[in-house]
Amino acid sequence: MKYSFKVNHLFVTLLYVTALFSSCTSIELDVYNDGGNDSYRRSSGEQSGTNDFLWAKSEGVRNVLRRASQLANITWTPILDIPGNAGVYPAGIEVLGIPYSSTKQINKYVGLDVTFHTFMTALHNPRSVLYTENLREAPYFGSNCASYYGTVCSSAVAYALDLDAPFSSSSFPSLSCFYRVPGHNLESLEPGDVLQRPGHVFMVYKVDKNNRGAVISVSIFEAASRYARISTTSANSFQERLEREDYVAYRYDAIDDVDQYESSPYVAVGSESVSVVKYNDSLCPNRGDRSVYRVGEPVVINILEDSYKSLIVKGSEGYYNTFESEGDIKLDNLPPSVYEAYLADGVRVSEPVSFLVAAPQVTVRNDAQLHVSFSCRQGKPSYCVLCDRVGSFKSIHVITAEEADQGYIDIEPLDVSSYFCKVVFDTTYGTVVNEPIKVTHL
């Protein structure tokens, strides 16, 4: 599909420059280049607190734009260097947008698997996994990744649209809930539309038109290279990118029904304001506050203040234990539960942190179809993935309420000699996944 749209370059340039200086929505004049693609002006007005998404056609679309803005407009400053997919995120340098990292091997996409709170509290902890782990190094073997938490193009769009799973970029054309945008021109594009080509996907954020209905500029939401971002480009440049890279536009058929949006104290969206967050400087789980662990994974509580004598750990199912708070505390083989931990010294106690330990259990029987059985203490089944060793999706099956109740699904196997099966479960604090099960066909 080609987008045909002729513009008068001088007319559009004058209108676009006028809009930059007269609009109440400010646009940064920084110009950057993303992997040889067009240079884009990065939009900053969406974080000014004056933008209420009045251009969206419905409350559902406004929720989609709000969710996209959360990923793109959150600001964070690492206290130590963090490994990045396209270079390190240096200590002390503020970053706009969730970092780009394909965490598919461990299912740690911010927004989908990990909350903004967990990400930001891990960022504040100098001994957290954000600083100690690199997904390019052992024991990991991921690709297109580095930081332990992050997002990619498909997971960012999936979060914005509140989809059931982080479908791969190549799978969007085959999803029954998407249809091709009619009209095949820039004027037909709407906020929330998805532009897809093999290997990449992004979302239309805003389409600016003049009083004659001609498109002047297009703002998009995408995750690429280093972070999730919202950027604006002229109609001409946008059309050239679509044609050069053979993008096809799709529309989510339930976009007007997206009703899930939860504001966060860590990022201002629209007319919201950022809250002053008081971090716990005494202790923190190594994955961040309100993080999720699988039974058998060690839970490390980083002790950040040495003026207390004891660490108290309480579980919602009766677990209680006291540890001497000399250095970091490693908790092995905790039973499934929601936990609270705090430091104590006589009657003096610190602010608490919390974490969750879940027990996903998955079995696979390899018959004519794959019979996948599942259960999870502290979790509910969400979707099943057939993937390769690094976690790249080959097939996703969203688990229905009926299938969740019966505790199993029968799905088509992949036509390859071997692959892995994972079931992702939703918990109170995020998602958890079973240890991948290798499936072999003789």
**Residue 419's domain is classified under what CATH number?**
2.60.40.10
Are 268 and 126 within one domain?
yes
The H helix count followed by the E strand count for the chain is 7, 26
Place of tokens 């058929």: 253
Within this chain, do residues 194 and 313 fall inside the same structural domain, yes or no? no
Q: pLDDT value at position 45?
A: 37
pLDDT per residue as tens, the chain (442 positions) = 433 333 343 333 433 334 333 333 333 323 223 333 333 333 433 443 345 799 999 999 999 999 999 999 999 999 999 999 889 999 999 999 999 999 999 999 999 999 999 999 999 999 999 999 999 998 888 788 999 999 999 999 999 999 999 998 888 999 999 999 998 789 999 999 999 999 999 999 999 999 998 999 999 999 999 999 999 999 999 999 999 999 999 999 999 999 999 999 999 998 888 888 999 999 999 999 999 999 999 999 999 999 999 999 999 888 999 998 778 999 999 999 999 999 999 899 999 999 999 999 999 998 889 999 999 999 999 999 999 988 888 899 999 999 999 999 999 999 999 999 999 999 999 999 999 999 997 6
Task: For residue 228, give both structure tokens.
Answer: 């999730």
> What single-letter amino acid sits at 259?
D
Residue 53 makes CB contacts below 8 A (sequence gap 6+) with 61, 62, 65, 66, 270
Cα angle, residue 181 at apex, residues 100 and 57 outer, rounded to 5°: 80
Q: Give the chain's end-to-end CA distance (angstroms, integer).
A: 41
Contacts of 10 (CB under 8 A, 6+ apart): none
> Helices marked H in 23-167 — which ranges?
59-73, 116-124, 129-132, 153-161
113 and 152 belong to one structural domain: yes
Condensed to tens digits (0 to 9), the pLDDT of residues 221-245 reads 999 999 999 999 999 999 999 999 9
Domain boundary, last residue among 310, 331, 357? 357
Q: In terms of domains, do 219 and 261 share one?
A: yes
Q: Are residues 161 and 121 in the same domain?
A: yes
Q: Supply the range of the domain harboring residue 203.
A: 1-276
Query: Last residue of some domain: 276, 305, 321?
Result: 276
Angle between helical axes of 59-73 and 153-161 (0-180°, round to 10): 140
Give the total number of structural domains in the chain. Answer: 3
The SS3 of residue 14 is: helix
Does the CA dihedral 125-127-131-135 come out positive or negative? Answer: negative
Task: Give residue-wise pLDDT tens across range 404-424.
Answer: 999 999 999 999 999 999 999
| pLDDT score of 27 | 32
Residues 96 and 135 in one domain: yes
Distances (CA, A) of 268 to 52, 237, 263, 273, 398: 11, 29, 8, 5, 32
- 205, 309: one domain: no
Please tell me the predicted confidence (pLDDT) of residue 442: 63
Calculate the alpha carbon distances from 267 to 96, 117, 120, 216, 227 in Å.
10, 10, 11, 29, 15
Q: Is there a single domain that holds both residue 330 and residue 399?
A: no
- The verdict on 25 and 43 lying in the same domain is yes
Q: Does an H or E element contain 348, and which?
A: strand 348-349
pLDDT digits (tens, 9 = 90+) for 361-382: 999 998 889 999 999 999 999 9
Q: Which of 276, 300, 331 is the last residue of a domain?
A: 276
Burial class (CB in 10 A: 0-12, 13-18, 19+), 402: exposed
Q: Are 170 and 53 members of one domain?
A: yes
Same domain, 124 and 250: yes
CA-CA distances (angstroms) from residue 398 to 163, 166, 340, 395? 10, 11, 32, 10
| The two three-digit tokens of residue 97, written as one number | 């947008």
Judge if 14 and 126 occupy the same domain. Answer: yes
Exposed, middle or buried by CB within 10 Å (0-12, 13-18, 19+), for 394?
Answer: middle
Q: 170 phi and psi, to 5 degrees?
A: -75, -15
